[in-house]
């Protein structure tokens, strides 16, 4: 096999043949799954195919946008991210969230990520111009992606617990508790479940594993010390985005289960 080729930026180029070799891991997984009679071969192949096609298409799109930066194009990419994120959150939920909760999911996702992204780009890294896609899009993707995971966990717990245990909420209401007080335990647990993955990721970062953003910067030739500063900043930004989006979700989401007379609606 030919030795690795290093480009002018000090990055090792991956040839098409080398990339194809990476699919050996997929073949191994399919063989093991088939041998264990798990019957998920088609799902694995489909996921791999979708990932490949989506990333190739995104690569060409980003290559064009990076070479032709424009605020409308950057905002359009961001809105597409938001739309797919909300769609995935609602689609993953096992319990029906109802129309009111769907609106809350969209509002919390948009408000939380936009607020966090604007603060991060303006105050933390001072991006000029603000729509510069080489920074805006990757950072927005990390904030939206992690917030999507947080809201998925929070909304799932909130909706399922209230729908499965309405009698506990109603008992608290009959004793004079407000809707917020009656659902406080469920709300707090929903919030904790949502932020726990981010906390766990921060605990193991740097010792157990090197995060993707930092690894990518190091592989691209950036000094590890610079990469560390960026990674710390983006992780704090992710934590803020997840916290804000889930907080809005829980506060607004609880209200969708009650009518104007503060009575619990069994069917949302």
Share of the chain above pLDDT 70, in %: 94
What average pLDDT does the segment 158-187 reach? 87
| In the chain, beta strands by DSSP E | 5-6, 12-13
Give the model's pLDDT for residue 266. Answer: 60
Mean pLDDT of 236-264: 91
Average pLDDT over residues 54-79: 93
CA nearest neighbour of 112 among 93, 89, 129, 133: 89
pLDDT in tens, 30-41: 999 998 888 889
pLDDT at position 268: 40
Nearest to 241 by CA among 126, 77, 82, 83: 82
Q: Please say if the pLDDT value at position 1 is more than 90.
A: no
Mean pLDDT of the chain: 88
Cβ atoms 30, 41 nearer than 8 A: yes
Element at 144 (helix H, strand E)? helix 133-164
Work out the average pLDDT over 220-233. Answer: 83
Q: Is the pLDDT of residue 82 over 60?
A: yes
Interval 182-206 mean pLDDT: 90
Pairing of strands 12-13, 5-6: antiparallel
* This model's pTM is above 0.85: no
CB of 219 within 8 A of CB of 186?
no
Instruction: Summarize pLDDT for 115-133 with one digit per residue, the tens.
Output: 999 999 999 999 999 999 9
Which SS3 state, helix, strand or coil, does residue 165 take? Answer: coil
pLDDT digits (tens, 9 = 90+) for 140-169: 999 999 999 999 999 999 998 888 888 888
5 and 13 Cβ atoms separated by less than 8 Å: yes
pLDDT for 51 beyond 90: yes
pLDDT at 43: 93
What is residue 90's predicted lDDT score, i.e. its pLDDT? 92
pLDDT of residue 239: 94
Q: List, for residues 3-23, the tens digit of each pLDDT value.
A: 555 555 556 778 889 999 999
Q: What pLDDT, on the 0 to 100 scale, is given for residue 8?
A: 55
Q: What is the mean pLDDT of residues 91-97?
A: 82
pLDDT band at 205 (very low <50, low <70, confident <90, very high): confident
> Could you tell me which residue, 97 or 46, shows the higher pLDDT?
46
User: What was the pLDDT predicted at 133?
Assistant: 93
């Amino acid at each position: 096999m030919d030795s690795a080729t290093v480009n002018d930026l000090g990055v090792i180029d991956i040839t098409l043949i080398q990339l194809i070799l990476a699919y050996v891991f997929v073949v191994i997984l399919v063989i093991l799954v088939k041998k264990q009679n798990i019957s998920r071969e088609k799902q694995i192949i489909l996921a791999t195919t979708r990932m490949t096609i989506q990333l190739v298409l995104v690569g060409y799109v980003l290559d064009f946008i990076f070479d032709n930066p424009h605020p409308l194009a950057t905002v359009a990419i961001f809105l597409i991210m938001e739309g797919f994120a909300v769609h995935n959150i609602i689609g993953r939920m096992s319990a029906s969230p109802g129309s009111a909760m769907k609106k809350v999911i969209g509002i919390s996702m948009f408000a939380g990520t936009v607020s966090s992204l604007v603060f991060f780009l303006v105050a933390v890294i001072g991006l000029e111009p603000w729509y510069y896609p080489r920074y805006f899009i990757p950072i927005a993707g990390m904030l939206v992606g992690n917030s999507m995971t947080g809201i998925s966990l929070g909304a799932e717990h909130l909706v399922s617990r209230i729908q499965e245990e309405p009698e506990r909420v109603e008992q608290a209401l009959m004793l004079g508790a407000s809707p917020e007080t009656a659902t406080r335990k469920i709300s707090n647990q929903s919030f904790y479940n949502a932020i726990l993955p981010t906390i766990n990721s921060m605990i193991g970062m740097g010792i157990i594993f090197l995060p993707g953003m930092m690894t990518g910067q190091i592989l691209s030739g950036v000094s590890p010390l610079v990469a560390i500063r960026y990674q710390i900043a983006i992780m704090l930004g992710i934590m803020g985005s997840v916290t804000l989006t889930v907080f809005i979700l829980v506060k607004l989401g609880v209200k969708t289960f009650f009518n104007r007379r503060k009575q619990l609606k069994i069917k949302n």
